[in-house]
Amino acid sequence: MISILKSFAIVSISASILLAAPAQKQNKELQEIVQTGKESSKLLLKTLGKNMKAHMKKGGPLDALNFCSNEAYSLTESVNKKLPQGVHVKRVSLKYRSPANQPKADEAKVLKAMESLKDANVVLPKHFVEKVDEKVYKFYKPLVINKGVCLKCHGDVQNKKLKNTIEQRYPNDKATGYKMGDLRGAIVVTIDKSAK
Q: Confirm or reject binding of residue 79 to ligand HEC (CB under 6 A).
A: no
Q: Which of 118, 171, 129 is nearest to 34 (CA)?
A: 129
Among 51, 80, 98, 159, binds ligand HEC (CB under 6 A): 98
Specify the residue, 33 or 175, whose C-beta has the smaller distance to ligand HEC: 175
Positions 147 through 176 that interact with ligand HEC (CB under 6 A): 147, 149-150, 152-154, 175
Q: Confirm or reject binding of residue 103 to ligand HEC (CB under 6 A).
A: no
Distance of CA 34 to the CA centre of its chain: 12
Please report which helix (H) or strand (E) contains residue 87, including its range: strand 87-92
Q: Confirm or reject binding of residue 145 to ligand HEC (CB under 6 A).
A: yes
| DSSP code for 121 | T
| 82 CB neighbour count, 10 Å cutoff | 11
Half-sphere exposure of 74 (CA within 13 A, CB side): 6
Q: Which residues bind ligand HEC (CB under 6 A)?
A: 61, 64-65, 68-69, 72-73, 91, 93, 96-98, 101, 143, 145, 147, 149-150, 152-154, 175, 184-185
